[in-house]
Each structure stands twice: as structure tokens, then as C-alpha cells.
Amino acid sequence: MTTPPISKETENRPKLALNATAVVANLAKLEGWTLNGDGPEVAIEKTYSFENYYQTMAFVNAVAFIAHAHDHHPHLSVQFKRCVVRFNTHDVAGLTLRDFDCAARVDALSA
Ligand code: H2B
């Protein structure tokens, strides 16, 4: 499989930590994502449910593809029929637009 390119939109966007107002505004555009943690551990998180392990793993692999393409890697907690996806930007110890971009891309997998 060839390596997908990082999207220009994401690549060109500087990693700037969002302030609380911007975090709330961007979170409001997403469905099912919640804000968790505090300080450098702050993250956005969503739990996806599936019918079986195959579906769970297909989802995990699709998320990995997105993560690689955008050089942005979520924490994944994988269970039998569930996957918790957690994004933050460790380079800035906070949340950036890249977290919200990638969250929307992960959501689009099941749209
Ligand atoms: N993923 C996440 N979630 N946050 C980052 O700050 C981050 C990343 N930084 N993936 C990337 C890799 C960086 O370390 C590389 C060098 O581009």
C-alpha cells in the first residue's frame, strides 16, 4: 500500500493550542465527542460501538490510515465491540484544530 499524502490543509496549518472558547466552539460542531482531562492531558474523546470484533478492527485500521495520512495519532482503547478514540496534540500539550479535523474525519468513516 502506498503512503497516503498528508493533506495540504492539515500540513500547512500551524499547531497552535486552542483557548477554551475555541475548544467549546469546535466541540459543538461534532457529535458525541466529549472533553476529558485537564492541563497537558486535555483531550477530546468518543466511544464507537460495533456489532462484532471484525467491525471494531476494520474501524481501528481505518483510523490508523487517517492518523498516518495526517501525521496525527489518537490514543485508541480497543475492546471486543468498542473503541474509544482520544485526540490531543502532544506537541503543544493541548488541543489544536488538527484534533478536531481528525475527529471529523474519523466520524466520516461511519457516516
Ligand atoms: N499525534 C498527536 N496526537 N499529537 C502530536 O502532537 C503529534 C502526533 N505529533 N503525531 C506528530 C506525530 C509529531 O511528533 C511528528 C514528528 O510529526
The pLDDT value recorded for residue 7 is 61
The pLDDT value recorded for residue 98 is 97
Q: Name which of 22, 32, 8 is nearest 106 in CA terms.
A: 32
The pLDDT value recorded for residue 28 is 98
Residue 55 resides in a domain: yes
Instruction: Output the pTM of the full model.
Output: 0.92
The model's pLDDT over 29-41, given as tens digits with 9 standing for 90+, comes to 999 999 999 999 9
Residue nearest to atom 17 of ligand 1 (CA): 71
d(CA 24, CA 110): 23
The pLDDT value recorded for residue 33 is 98
The pLDDT value recorded for residue 14 is 79
Residue nearest to atom 4 of ligand 1 (CA): 89
Residue 69 resides in a domain: yes
Q: Low-confidence residues of the chain, pLDDT below 70?
A: 1-11
Which residue segment(s) compose the domain that 100 sits in?
Answer: 24-109
CATH number for 33: 3.30.1360.20
Residue 38 resides in a domain: yes
Ligand 1 center to 52 CA (angstroms): 30
Domain count, the chain: 1
The pLDDT value recorded for residue 88 is 98
**Who lines ligand 1 at CB under 6 A?**
71-73, 89-91
Residue 34 resides in a domain: yes
Residue 4 resides in a domain: no
The pLDDT value recorded for residue 107 is 98
Helix 97-109 crosses helix 20-27 at what angle (to 10 degrees)? Answer: 10
* Torsions phi, psi for 82 (to 5 deg): -155, 145
The pLDDT value recorded for residue 60 is 98
